[in-house]
Amino acid sequence: MTMPTQGPGPGPGYQPDGGAPHTAAEVKGSSLGELMRQVTGDLSTLMRQEVELAKAEIRQEGKKAGKAAGLFGGAGFGGYMVALFLSLALWAGLSNVMDAGWAGLIVAIIWAAIAAVLYSMAKKNAERVRGLKQTNDSVQRIPDALKPHPEGVTR
């Protein structure tokens, strides 16, 4: 025994563009199975589009985040080398006029202030990375699209 199949040809609820029926007469002429197929197809398309949007945003924002990370790394390494040699030179210079312990403490306080300024600058740069704003906005609108509308089909 063979199961009857329904082809893509004209029939109740058939749309040449593959979309869902738009008028009450078109919906009433469609079977429940056809309507469910159209809804699941539309949801599948919507999800694929949202995933593509998220991928595009991640690539775009990833470049900004990568640049910020590179700047953090470069600043950290350069700061370490400068701090090392300037600290030794300053400590040695201050040791000529005061006790070596006090000289070391003064150098440490200076580097604490510099570290605070660098952290503040890095934080401002990192805040420029927006995240997935467009995708989040679009996904939040999906439930509204699925809600019944007053101009929709009534029984």
92 vs 95: CA distance, rounded Å: 5
Check residue 21 and give its pLDDT. 54
- Count CA atoms closer than 13 A to 34's CA, side-chain side: 21
pTM higher than 0.75 for the full model? no
> Which is higher by pLDDT, 19 or 70?
70
Query: Distance of CA 79 to CAs 65, 82, 92, Å?
Result: 21, 5, 19
Q: Which residues neighbour 142 within 8 Å (Cβ) at sequence distance 6 or greater?
A: 46, 50
pLDDT in tens, 107-121: 889 889 988 998 999
